[in-house]
C-alpha cells in the first residue's frame, strides 16, 4: 500500500553538512534538475577577471544559449544580484557569439527582490529559481522552482513594420519562387483551421496579419534552398518529441524570442502536413490564447 505523507521542509543554512559547493556539484552532475532543460556543463568555479568566480556555466547543446548561474543559500541580497549580473555581463562581453542569460538560484527569493529585478528584466535576461529542501529520513531532497522567467522580447521588426514593409518581389529575390511558394502553402494550412490570415512582407521575415494587424504566432524566412519556419511556442519536452519523432529539422530553439526554428525543404510541407498543422495550431493557441 502506498503511503502519502507531508515531507518536512528544512532550511539548508541550518542543516549541517550541506554547502553551496554541495549544491553546485549536484547541479553539475544533473543539470536537468533546475528545470532549464538538459544542459551541458561548460565550467565550474569559473574565474572572472577581478570579479571572483562564477558558480556554474551551462549551455544548451541545441542552440548558442549559455546560462551564467549563481547559487546562494538563504535569502537573496543586493550583493548577490550585483554579482550575478556582473558575471553575466563579463561573459557576454568575452563571448558575444553566444546568447547569454543570468540565473540566480536561492533558498528564499523575497518579494522585494522580485520587485527590484522586475524593473530591469527585459533589458537583462534574468531567471530566478527558488530552491526548496525537504528531509526524508536521513536524506535531503531538493526541488527547484522557477519564480521569475526572463521576459520574452517582442520581435524588433514588429515595432518597425511601418518603416520596414517590403513586398513579394523583395522575397522572390532574397529567396526563390519555390521557397516563397512554400510560405503560401503555410498560409493555406493556417487558413484551413483559422480563416482570415494573410501574409505580411517585412524586411527580415514574412509575417502574418489579421485585419491588417500583425499576428505573428509563426513567421517565415524563405532562403535559396529551404523555408525557415519559426513558431512562437514555449520550449517543452512534448514539443521536442513531436519534432524529433516526425523527423523535422530543428535549427535550435531561440530563447530570446521564445520560438522553435524549423528548416523545411522542398516537398516536405506536403509530406508532413499533419504534424506541421498541429504545431501551427499549438502556436496560434499559445500566442492568441
pTM of the model: 0.55
Closest CA to 125 of 106, 151, 144: 151
The grid coordinates listed for 11 are: 532550511
d(CA 241, CA 261) in angstroms, rounded, equals 14
Residue 12's pLDDT is: 76
Residue 67's pLDDT is: 93
Overall residue count recorded for the chain in this entry: 289
Q: Who contacts 193 (Cβ-Cβ below 8 Å, separation ≥6)?
A: 277, 280, 281, 284
The grid coordinates listed for 239 are: 514539443
Domain ranges of the chain: 8-148, 156-288
Closest CA to 86 of 48, 139, 135: 48
Residue 146's pLDDT is: 85
Q: Who contacts 66 (Cβ-Cβ below 8 Å, separation ≥6)?
A: 42, 57, 58, 59, 60, 91, 95, 98, 99, 100, 101
Residue 121's pLDDT is: 62
d(CA 92, CA 100) in angstroms, rounded, equals 6
Q: Which residues of the chain have pLDDT under 50?
A: 155-163
- Domain 8-148 indexed as CATH 3.40.1350.10: yes
d(CA 128, CA 110) in angstroms, rounded, equals 11
Identify the CATH assignment for 156-288 out of 3.90.1150.200, 3.90.1150.10, 3.40.50.2300, 3.40.1130.10.
3.90.1150.200
d(CA 260, CA 250) in angstroms, rounded, equals 7
Amino acid at each position: 500500500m502506498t503511503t502519502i505523507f507531508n515531507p518536512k521542509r528544512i532550511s539548508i543554512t541550518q542543516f549541517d553538512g550541506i554547502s553551496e559547493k554541495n549544491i553546485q556539484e549536484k547541479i553539475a552532475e544533473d543539470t536537468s534538475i533546475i528545470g532549464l532543460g538538459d544542459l551541458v556543463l561548460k565550467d565550474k568555479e569559473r574565474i572572472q577577471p577581478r570579479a571572483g568566480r562564477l558558480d556554474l556555466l551551462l549551455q544548451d547543446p541545441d542552440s548558442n544559449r549559455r546560462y551564467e548561474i549563481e547559487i546562494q543559500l538563504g535569502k537573496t541580497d543586493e550583493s548577490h544580484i550585483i554579482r550575478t549580473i556582473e558575471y553575466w555581463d563579463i561573459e557576454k562581453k568575452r563571448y558575444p557569439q553566444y546568447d547569454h542569460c543570468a540565473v540566480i538560484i536561492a533558498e528564499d527569493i523575497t518579494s522585494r527582490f522580485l520587485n527590484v529585478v522586475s524593473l530591469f528584466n527585459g533589458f537583462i535576461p534574468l531567471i530566478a529559481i527558488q530552491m526548496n529542501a525537504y528531509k526524508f529520513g536521513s536524506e535531503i531532497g531538493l526541488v527547484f522552482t522557477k519564480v521569475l522567467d526572463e521576459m520574452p522580447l517582442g520581435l524588433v521588426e514588429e515595432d518597425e513594420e511601418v518603416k520596414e514593409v517590403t513586398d513579394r518581389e523583395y522575397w522572390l529575390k532574397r529567396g526563390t519562387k519555390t521557397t516563397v511558394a512554400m510560405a503560401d502553402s503555410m498560409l493555406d494550412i493556417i487558413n484551413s483551421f483559422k480563416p482570415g490570415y494573410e501574409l505580411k512582407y517585412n524586411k527580415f521575415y514574412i509575417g502574418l496579419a489579421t485585419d491588417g494587424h500583425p499576428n505573428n504566432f509563426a513567421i517565415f524566412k524563405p532562403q535559396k534552398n529551404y523555408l525557415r519556419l519559426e513558431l512562437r511556442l514555449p520550449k517543452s519536452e512534448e514539443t521536442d518529441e513531436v519534432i524529433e519523432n516526425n523527423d523535422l529539422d530543428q535549427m535550435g530553439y531561440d530563447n530570446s524570442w521564445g520560438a522553435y526554428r524549423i528548416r523545411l525543404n522542398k516537398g516536405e510541407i506536403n509530406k508532413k502536413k499533419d504534424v506541421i498543422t498541429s504545431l501551427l495550431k499549438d502556436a496560434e493557441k499559445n500566442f492568441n490564447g
